[in-house]
Structure 1
């Protein structure tokens, strides 16, 4: 119960926490079943909330969010349904925001360094290099009025 007061958790996270406290497996499953019955745990709602917050606030890609959901014990089917909230256009818009932010942060640096740092930042958030390269070229062209050489071909 204490873990649920801090933040929503998946059933698997709570099961793991009880296992660390040496709660017998049958007791843990009974408690978790009861939590589901009364609505204290709902993996579908948990996954949906995580997808919304990670995408809107942290601008993470669907791939990065899927990895986090898997790590938190959400099954693949539930994760897929939750990830449908983020469309391709949403993902590209979030990537564009990150590219613009990174380019603004690195404005005083060489174009190659700016591109390299932008690729790295978006790669850590799970964005594919081809998408990053295309958006980066577009944003550099919009900023500078001309195409600059960007490393890492699509």
Structure 2
């Protein structure tokens, strides 16, 4: 019998791992949101209200539970589009009944978990949509502050966007505009081009260089 068992052991195949399915892998954002939801769920479990016994008054929902619901609301909003810390607080103020200090705790939870980061958002906007709009450093700074990013954070991020890179953007934008000013009186064209670039946040030195090069 022992020999029979040994023979059977020889023919039983050892189970092999299934090949990984790339299509089933989560994106980085989905993984982050999943981790955040797990954190929220753990906190909700800790502060879950006790169900009332028959005939008793229902237990009041705790502040912590309300904050967890607010965090989940913010998770869904962040999944749709990134937000600054100030925008996150404004959303909570508009859509929840949390007090300012409670909203602050929710926002700080998101910051600690890496879901809110004003510097990272400023860099993403500066290298993305704001750059595609052809904005100069001043224009980018105004837009970032409009999104609720503190001026000090915006200026620190935009420190890398000056100099030759900003001049090249202004020159490209100005050249396109100058083509549309053909046939316009030279002085009028210079004023229009200067105003066009200045309104997009380019500094006087850069605007002057571009105007001289294109309409000299």
**Equivalenced residues, count:** 141
Moved over 4 A (4+): none
Q: Which has the higher contact order (CA 8 A, sep 6+)?
A: 1
RMSD: 1.9
8 Å CA contact 1:54–1:65 kept in 2: the answer is: no
Q: In structure 1, what is the equivalent of residue 83 of structure 2?
A: 9
Query: Deviations for 1:57-95, whole angstroms, at most 9, x for unmatched residues?
Result: 122111121222223222233223211221311111111
> Where does structure 2 lack aligned partners over 5 or more consecutive residues?
1-73
Structure 1 residues 92 and 41: CA distance shift in structure 2, 3 A: same
TM-score between the two structures when normalised by the length of structure 2: 0.59
Partner Cα distance (2:157, 2:174) in 1: 25
Query: Deviations for 1:40-71, whole angstroms, at most 9, x for unmatched residues?
Result: 11111011112212553122111121222223
Q: In structure 2, what is the equivalent of residue 40 of structure 1?
A: 115
Partner Cα distance (2:195, 2:162) in 1: 23
Q: In structure 2, what is the equivalent of residue 52 of structure 1?
A: 127
Q: In structure 2, what is the equivalent of residue 18 of structure 1?
A: 92
Q: What is the Cα deviation at residue 109 of structure 1?
A: 2.3
Structure 1 counterpart of 2:213, from 138, 143, 149: 138
Structure 1 counterpart of 2:184, from 109, 115, 132: 109
TM-score between the two structures when normalised by the length of structure 1: 0.79
Structure 1 counterpart of 2:156, from 63, 67, 81: 81
Which is higher, the Rg of structure 1 or of structure 2? 2
Query: Deviations for 1:81-121, whole angstroms, at most 9, x for unmatched residues?
Result: 21122131111111111110110122232223322221121
Structure 1 residues 67 and 79: CA distance shift in structure 2, 3 A: same
> Where does structure 1 lack aligned partners over 5 or more consecutive residues?
141-146, 148-154
Q: In structure 2, what is the equivalent of residue 92 of structure 1?
A: 167
Partner Cα distance (2:80, 2:187) in 1: 43
